[in-house]
Structure 1
Amino acid sequence: MGIFISVVFLVSFAMFAGAVQNLLALNKPGMYPPKVLLRKRAGSLAGAGAIFLLIGIIFYSFH
């Protein structure tokens, strides 16, 4: 069970890191990918990261 909780926290951290990377890409000049797509991607990754973090906290509290 401990390995599962660790994996859930690592996935959460990876998704938050991806969201930050997409937000930082908004400041780079260029046309591709569109800024709307980057914002949507960052929001999706941050939301999924929050869900995985919540799941990890729930499992950790019951462990």
Structure 2
Amino acid sequence: MTAREGDTIAAALLAAGIDHTRETPTSQSPRAPFCMMGSCFECRVEVDGEPNVQGCMRQITPGMQVKRQRY
């Protein structure tokens, strides 16, 4: 996927039409970026093997591997 320079992970995913970044542990309900300023933690993703990264707080870099957060 491509993104604009300076985009956060969350912004790039939303622009690409990705509708959620993780599921809840209890009900597996889909969750998506909400506040876009780091307060709500709904945009957590796995980045280059690191879990629980707030997608709204980290900028996209070339070659970055982003996966949907599982719980």
> What's the TM-score once normalised by structure 1's chain length?
0.22
Of structures 1 and 2, the one with the larger relative CO (CA 8 A, separation 6+) is 1
**Larger % of strand: which?**
2
**Larger % of helix: which?**
1
- Which protein has the larger Cα radius of gyration, Structure 1 or Structure 2? 1
